[in-house]
Structure 1
Amino acid sequence: MITIVAHRGWSGAAPENTMAAFKLALTEPDIAIIELDVHLSKDGVPVVIHDHTLDRTTSGTGRVKDCTLEDLRELDAGSWFAPEFSEERIPTLEEVLQLAKGRCMLHVELKTMGNVYEGIEEKVINLIHRHGVKDQVVLSSFDHHSMKRANEIDPSIKAGLIFLGNPTLLIDQLHYTGATSVSMHYYFVTHELVNEMKELEIDLGVWTVDDSDTLASIVEQYPDIRITTNYPDRLLRIARQGSVRF
């Protein structure tokens, strides 16, 4: 069964990590998961943006961590994508949790590294509990120590490890961190890995696949995998033409 993940919302059709992209993804019932990225503002509020800096996707400059929430709220987070999105702002994680509650799973990637956002795990977990969505959320990060901390704070909230390359001692890493989910670049996925993760009941996914031919190849080879894409419409079309189950 293919699981479709809308990367940073439906970011092929709306500016990434904005309410517009999340609302669009929620209009398609066969999108199972929305992925988003979280940093902390200067005053400690979890905010949704991918980069550590503001320059690429907003009208601002500098680092996210150096701006208060009030500062961030003044920035245009949509015009870079298209003029009609000029009213989009950087959302807070709380706003996204409220929007998606009862509607869609969320993969929340913590964009921390080292101690750049000390306490981010506890702040995010507190929000998850406040809004009663712990069964809807999987936390994830390239910083695997962050996932270990998250699991120690609350092991009832699922944690996932993200990899760029081909990890060694993967099972040991999962046990050490308490993670039950793995996300990696599709280059490194093999049938052996898929079968091993399935036996261990570890959720396995690939990121970020946008090319239609590559999407079709993955669907054909690995019909039971989680696929993250900026263009859910392309994956939906391929899956429906092939009568793939969602």
Structure 2
Amino acid sequence: MAFTQIFAHRGSAGTHPENTMSSFKEAEKAGADGIELDVQLSKDGEVVVIHDETLDRTTNGKGFVKDFTLEELKKLDASYKFNTFFKKPRIPSFREVCEWLKTNELLCNVELKNGVFPYPQLEEKVIALVREFGLENRIIISSFNHYSIVYCFQLAPEIEIAPLYSEGLFMPWIYAQSIRGKAIHPNQRAAPDEIVVSSMENGIAVRPYTVNKKEDMIRLFNIGCSAIITDYPKKALELRKQTNE
């Protein structure tokens, strides 16, 4: 049976404040194969790691990410719904995450959050950091904005791209090949067994999101799905071990 990789969605988002260093470090500690994170631009053009376009849900700030400088964003408490008894987690810059990735072997799926606001130069800035830290072979760039990932491929054909999508797509492996993607990242509801298997048979990896339920994990492990993206990497690793025994 093929080995299914486990990507920690926004880090170990089920147990730690999402998209923070504590969440990413927990994923590493659990033994995940990779992490998934989201990037946007601050007011002063820095690449920052946060999912929503607004600060309201995951921090004690209010307003749009794009209206605050990196320094201002760094002052916010990003502990989200988790009570942290120690140091309050902060919004990391993508540079910080790249520095940390140099200390381990984790893969990293970078989702460009440029569907609502078309952040100028987001693609160039992400690629420049990936190249600066020599992470080209460990990064996958994904987005629901497929124009953006095609542009990334044109800028940096050595970095893998993968389209994100949430509805059923006809023969998605053909679409992925047409935009030079090596993988697809479908919502798990748009990833029935036959689509997963056919995609992999046609040389396209499949990494469904967000796979949190035990029965969904087991189904995907049993068909040897390329990877799953989950909020609970520790739980997924335990289940993968049991399924592969």
* Category of TM-score, reference length = shorter chain: over 0.9
TM superposition shift of 1:86? 5.0
Q: Does 1:230 align with 2:231?
A: yes
The secondary structure found in structure 2 opposite 1:242 is: helix
Query: What is the aligned-residue identity percentage?
Result: 36
Q: Does 1:51 align with 2:33?
A: no
CA change 1:192–1:169 in 2 (3 A) is: closer
In 2, the alpha carbon distance for the partners of 1:109 and 1:134 equals 15
With the length of structure 1 as denominator, give the TM-score of the two structures. Answer: 0.92
TM superposition shift of 1:162? 0.4
**What residue is the counterpart of 1:137 in the other structure?**
139
One of 183, 186, 189 as aligned partner of 2:188 = 186
State whether residues 11 and 21 of structure 1, in contact with CA within 8 Å, keep that contact through their aligned partners in structure 2.
Answer: yes
**What residue is the counterpart of 2:73 in the other structure?**
72
**What residue is the counterpart of 1:161 in the other structure?**
163
**What residue is the counterpart of 1:42 in the other structure?**
43
In 2, the alpha carbon distance for the partners of 1:4 and 1:19 equals 18
**What residue is the counterpart of 1:218 in the other structure?**
220
State whether residues 79 and 85 of structure 1, in contact with CA within 8 Å, keep that contact through their aligned partners in structure 2.
Answer: no
Q: Which deviates further from its counterpart, 8-17 or 85-94?
A: 85-94
One of 118, 127, 133 as aligned partner of 2:120 = 118
The secondary structure found in structure 1 opposite 2:111 is: strand
In 1, the alpha carbon distance for the partners of 2:40 and 2:197 equals 34
One of 17, 21, 28 as aligned partner of 1:26 = 28
Paired amino acid for 2:193: H
Structural RMSD (CA): 1.7
**What residue is the counterpart of 2:7 in the other structure?**
5
Q: Which deviates further from its counterpart, 75-84 or 117-126?
A: 75-84
In 1, the alpha carbon distance for the partners of 2:215 and 2:116 equals 37
Note the alpha carbon deviations across 1:170-207, whole angstroms, 9 max, x for none: 34532442211101112222333223222322111111
Unaligned runs of 5+ in 1: none
Q: Give the count of matched residue pairs.
A: 242
Note the alpha carbon deviations across 1:60-116, whole angstroms, 9 max, x for none: 000001111111011011153213265211000011111112420000000012662
In 1, the alpha carbon distance for the partners of 2:235 and 2:88 equals 27
The secondary structure found in structure 2 opposite 1:215 is: helix
Paired amino acid for 1:185: N
State whether residues 114 and 143 of structure 1, in contact with CA within 8 Å, keep that contact through their aligned partners in structure 2.
Answer: no
The secondary structure found in structure 1 opposite 2:198 is: helix
**What residue is the counterpart of 2:89 in the other structure?**
88
CA change 1:200–1:243 in 2 (3 A) is: closer
With the length of structure 2 as denominator, give the TM-score of the two structures. Answer: 0.92
Q: Which deviates further from its counterpart, 82-91 or 138-147?
A: 82-91
Paired amino acid for 2:150: K
One of 91, 107, 123 as aligned partner of 2:109 = 107
State whether residues 148 and 176 of structure 1, in contact with CA within 8 Å, keep that contact through their aligned partners in structure 2.
Answer: no
TM superposition shift of 1:218? 2.8
The secondary structure found in structure 2 opposite 1:4 is: strand
One of 174, 177, 200 as aligned partner of 2:176 = 174
State whether residues 15 and 85 of structure 1, in contact with CA within 8 Å, keep that contact through their aligned partners in structure 2.
Answer: no
In 1, the alpha carbon distance for the partners of 2:50 and 2:202 equals 33
Paired amino acid for 2:23: A
In 2, the alpha carbon distance for the partners of 1:86 and 1:143 equals 35
State whether residues 173 and 184 of structure 2, in contact with CA within 8 Å, keep that contact through their aligned partners in structure 1.
Answer: no
**What residue is the counterpart of 2:98 in the other structure?**
97
The secondary structure found in structure 2 opposite 1:195 is: helix
In 2, the alpha carbon distance for the partners of 1:85 and 1:14 equals 13
Paired amino acid for 1:45: E
